[in-house]
Amino acid sequence: MSAKIRLYVEHPLGAGQSVPLDRDQAHYLFGVMRQAVGGQVSLFNGRDGEWRADIVEAGKRQGLLQCQDQTKPLMLPPDLWLVFAPIKKARTDFIVEKAAEMGAARILPVQTAFTNSDRIRRDRLQAHAVEAAEQCGGTYVPEVAELQKLSRVLDHWPQDRQLMFCDEAEVGAALALTTGGGTGAPWAIVIGPEGGFSESERKRLHALPQSHVVSLGPRILRADTAVVAALTLWQQCHGDWR
């Protein structure tokens, strides 16, 4: 059984492995969660699955854990990217958290013609992805990439990666998420900002051979809602929910 408290660490995990804690982790475990020597936590590092570990040293600013046994193997999400245009801070945080919970492998914030923000705090967003993985029982943390221009991302679009283009201009059309690329094929979901896509972006996205233009129903959704809806549809059709 996994222990109640789950902690993401960078350190390698394996039977008997000692894992030192940094200041923040020690503060969280011993200060906030009131754990002490003899207690148990679950650890994962995105590579070695989940391990049950004993607390062997507990200090204010440091601590030491020792791995006992593996409680879960590494479970990778499907090879799905979420490409989205950052919106207001709290809503962007929400998007990253939901993408990590719902099983995206990589999160790519992009600047589009109508993107409201030209800066993101990548480290903060990455911390949100870690927290989401800790609380949802995941053994993998999706990487949050640096903010890039959508046009640049499309310039280098991998030939074999299918693209689910959620186009608000399709509002009200029937859902058209078809099979493409075969089982296990790499995919990406593309969601625009509050202002939607510009005509030239729309043209470019429609013209990509990897593109599957999709409607998300009869109503225009806010970008954060659209992300959750698109991830649900994709997971149900192509992902690991089937």
134 sits near ligand SAH (criterion: CB under 6 A): no
CB of 86 to ligand SAH, least distance (A): 12
Q: Which stretch binds ligand SAH (CB under 6 A): 100-108, 175-183, 188-196, 198-206?
A: 188-196
Angle at 98 between CA 116 and CA 82, to 5 degrees: 60
232 sits near ligand SAH (criterion: CB under 6 A): no
- Cβ closest to ligand SAH, residue 66 vs residue 215: 215
Left, alpha or beta for 20 (phi > 0: left; psi -120 to 50: alpha)? beta
Q: Which stretch binds ligand SAH (CB under 6 A): 55-63, 64-72, 164-172, 176-184?
A: 164-172
Identity at 37, one-letter amino acid code: V
Q: Give the C-alpha separation, 143 to 89, whole Å.
A: 18
Q: Which stretch binds ligand SAH (CB under 6 A): 57-65, 67-75, 90-98, 209-217?
A: 209-217
Identity at 162, one-letter amino acid code: Q
Could you tell me the CA-to-CA distances from 215 to 123, 165, 189, 191, 198 in Å, in that order? 32, 9, 12, 11, 17
Q: Give the C-alpha separation, 153 to 201, whole Å.
A: 12
Indicate which single residue of 13, 104, 113, 223 sits in contact with ligand SAH (rule: CB under 6 A).
223
167 sits near ligand SAH (criterion: CB under 6 A): yes
CB of 225 to ligand SAH, least distance (A): 7
Indicate which single residue of 226, 231, 235, 239 sits in contact with ligand SAH (rule: CB under 6 A).
226
What is the enclosing helix (H) or strand (E) of 90?
Answer: helix 89-102
* Residues at the interface with ligand SAH (CB under 6 A): 166-168, 170-171, 191-192, 194-197, 215-217, 220-221, 223, 226
